[in-house]
Amino acid sequence: EDKVVQSPLSLVVHEGDTVTLNCSYEVTNFRSLLWYKQEKKAPTFLFMLTSSGIEKKSGRLSSILDKKELFSILNITATQTGDSAVYLCAVDSGGGADGLTFGKGTHLIIQP
Partner 1 sequence: GAGVSQSPSNKVTEKGKDVELRCDPISGHTALYWYRQSLGQGLEFLIYFQGNSAPDKSGLPSDRFSAERTGGSVSTLTIQRTQQEDSAVYLCASSQRGGRHTEAFFGQGTRLTVV
* List of residues contacting partner 1 (CB under 8 A): 4, 6, 32, 34, 40-45, 48, 88, 90, 92, 94, 96-105
∠ CA 64-101-2 to the nearest 5 degrees?
Answer: 95
CB of 111 to partner 1, least distance (A): 22
Give the number of other Cβ atoms within 10 Å of residue 15's Cβ.
13
Q: Which is nearer to partner 1, 99 or 112 (CB)?
A: 99
Q: Which is nearer to partner 1, 17 or 32 (CB)?
A: 32
CB of 78 to partner 1, least distance (A): 26
CA distances (Å), 108 to each of 13, 14, 52, 57, 91, in order? 8, 11, 25, 19, 20
